[in-house]
């Protein structure tokens, strides 16, 4: 099982969890069907009345095992939905922040344009004053 899981390290952590859970479940169920114990093909083939049900692959399953698996998957789904909601809220908050920052940048750019324009006017006034002072000192 470890070799199969290691081959899937490029999967996301959630996908790895689901893959390992699925492999563990398959290993448990296939281990029971080939062990020769209760619910094995030998007993079922011999007309024995097995307590274990068979899944669609012919593997014996523990009574309640599928229900337990469904419960685990439902819990995982609830956790994933909660995480998804949190991520969605964080994404919306960041989008709001980005919008506010864009507005602030626009205001600052307008202020900068006004200041640059004022600076050009002051440069022109300074040149004019320098000419007048130069003419007066002659």
Q: What is the pLDDT of residues 33-43, one digit of tens each?
A: 444 444 444 44
- For the chain, state the CA radius of gyration: 37
Q: What count of Cα atoms within 13 Å lies in the side-chain half-sphere of residue 27? A: 10
pLDDT of residue 40: 42
pLDDT of residue 10: 54
pLDDT of residue 4: 45
The list of the chain residues with pLDDT below 50 reads: 1-9, 32-53
């Amino acid at each position: 099982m470890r070799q199969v899981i290691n081959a899937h390290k490029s999967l996301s952590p959630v996908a790895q969890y689901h893959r390992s859970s699925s492999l563990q479940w398959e290993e448990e169920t296939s281990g029971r069907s080939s062990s020769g114990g209760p619910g094995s093909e030998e007993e079922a083939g011999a007309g024995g009345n097995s307590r274990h049900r068979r899944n669609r692959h012919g593997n014996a399953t523990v009574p309640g095992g599928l229900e337990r698996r469904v419960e685990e998957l439902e819990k995982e789904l609830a956790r994933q939905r909660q995480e998804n909601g949190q991520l969605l809220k964080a994404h919306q908050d960041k989008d709001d922040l980005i919008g506010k920052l864009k507005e602030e940048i626009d205001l600052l750019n307008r202020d900068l344009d006004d200041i640059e324009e004022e600076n050009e006017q002051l440069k022109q006034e300074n040149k004019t004053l320098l000419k007048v002072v130069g003419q007066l000192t002659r």
